[in-house]
């Protein structure tokens, strides 16, 4: 069952949040340091922008790869990201060799929290404002079993009423069953719930399949033609919610 493409903001009582690139991210400075040791000069900021630009490619590939987890998916993710840096940054370094070197040093099965541990600026304040409005809030994440550790590590576990990790429950977005687990956990109804995430094929398509409303995060305008509501960040999301001081 697909829900309406329009979010009924006045009727919502529950919000699901993706984790990666929604309120936390990779440690881009660490990735840049490893890349420098392999002959590629770039900043964490450049990588952050390149990663966002790669998301539509990752989304399109999800239909074929059918997973965002594991070594193969991580290598594809790195390749799509570094491919979007200025060519001069990896002059003389083959992309495949770079990806192999990065994956060897950065990929730790079951320990995503070693890399995905950067709290995105401003997200905690936005989540606290949303929680103060009285919404039930649940994390729904494709992860490797380490997401609970990650959220606690960055000091944001107290903001959520529950957390659903795909490896723990056995279903990965866009499988609607992961959202059904989250609905049961929250005691929520799909038509009164919205999910917020950064990958159309995982977050939006999966939520709609479960009858949950969906909003796509698009901080730099990299998704110009999608058929769903978009926000730049969680501050913009908060401003859309009834009772928010910033609501128009």
Query: Is position 3 within any domain?
Result: no
Query: What is the structure's pLDDT at 2?
Result: 43
Q: Which residues of the chain have pLDDT under 70?
A: 1-4, 65-71, 110, 246-248
> Where does residue 240 fall: left (phi above 0), alpha (psi -120 to 50 degrees), or beta otherwise?
alpha
The reported pLDDT for the residue numbered 87 is 80
Contacts of 77 (CB under 8 A, 6+ apart): 54, 58, 68
Within 10 angstroms of residue 133's Cβ, the number of other Cβ atoms is 12
Same domain, 105 and 144: no
Same domain, 135 and 216: yes
Distance CA 58, CA 192 (A): 29
Whether 105 and 170 share a structural domain: no
* Contact (Cβ atoms closer than 8 angstroms) between residue 164 and residue 14: no
Q: What domain range includes position 85? A: 27-114
Dihedrals phi, psi of 207, to nearest 5 degrees: -65, -45
Q: CB neighbours of 117 closer than 8 A, spacing ≥ 6?
A: 24, 27, 150, 153, 154
The number of folded domains in the chain is: 2
| 20 and 60 fall within a common domain | no
Question: Is residue 174 helix, strand or coil?
Answer: coil
How would you label 43-65 residue by residue, b for 16+ Cβ within 10 Å and e otherwise? Answer: ebebbbbbbbebbbbbbebbeee
* Residue where one domain finishes, among candidates 72, 99, 114: 114
Q: Is residue 247 part of a domain?
A: no
The answer on 218 and 131 residing in a single domain is yes
Q: Which one of 114, 138, 155 terminates a domain?
A: 114
Examine the domain organization and report whether 102 and 204 are in the same domain.
Answer: no
Are 19 and 135 within one domain?
yes
State which of 78, 98, 114 marks the end of a domain.
Answer: 114
DSSP-based three-state secondary structure for 103: helix
Q: What is the pLDDT of residue 112?
A: 78
The alpha carbon of residue 157 and the mean position of all alpha carbons in its chain are separated, in whole angstroms, by 16
| Residue of 247, 242, 243, 246 whose CA lies nearest to 11 | 242
Domain assignment of residue 79, yes or no: yes
Say yes or no: 158 and 170 in one domain: yes
**Judgement on whether residues 197 and 234 belong to the same structural domain of the protein:** yes
């Amino acid at each position: 069952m697909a829900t309406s493409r329009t979010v009924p903001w006045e009727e919502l009582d529950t919000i699901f949040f993706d984790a990666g690139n929604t309120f936390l991210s990779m440690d881009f400075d660490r990735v840049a340091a490893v890349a420098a040791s392999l002959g590629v000069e770039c900043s964490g900021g450049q990588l952050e922008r390149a990663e966002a630009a790669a998301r539509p490619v990752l989304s399109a590939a999800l239909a074929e790869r059918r997973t965002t987890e594991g070594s193969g998916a991580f290598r594809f993710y790195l390749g799509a990201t570094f491919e979007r840096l200025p060519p001069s940054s990896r002059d003389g370094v083959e992309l495949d060799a770079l990806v192999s070197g990065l994956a060897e040093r950065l990929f730790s099965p079951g320990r995503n929290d070693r890399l995905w541990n950067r709290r995105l600026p401003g997200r905690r304040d936005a989540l606290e404002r949303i929680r103060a409005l009285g919404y039930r809030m649940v994390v729904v994440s494709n992860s490797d079993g380490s997401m609970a550790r990650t959220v606690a590590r960055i000091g944001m576990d107290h903001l959520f009423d529950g957390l659903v990790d795909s490896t723990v429950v056995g279903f990965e977005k866009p499988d609607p069953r992961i959202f059904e687990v989250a609905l049961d956990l929250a005691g929520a109804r799909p038509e009164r719930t919205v999910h917020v995430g950064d990958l159309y094929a995982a977050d939006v398509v999966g939520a709609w399949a479960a009858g949950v409303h969906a909003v796509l995060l698009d901080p730099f305008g990299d998704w110009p033609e999608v058929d769903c509501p978009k926000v730049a960040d969680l501050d913009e999301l908060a401003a859309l919610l009834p009772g928010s001081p910033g609501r128009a």
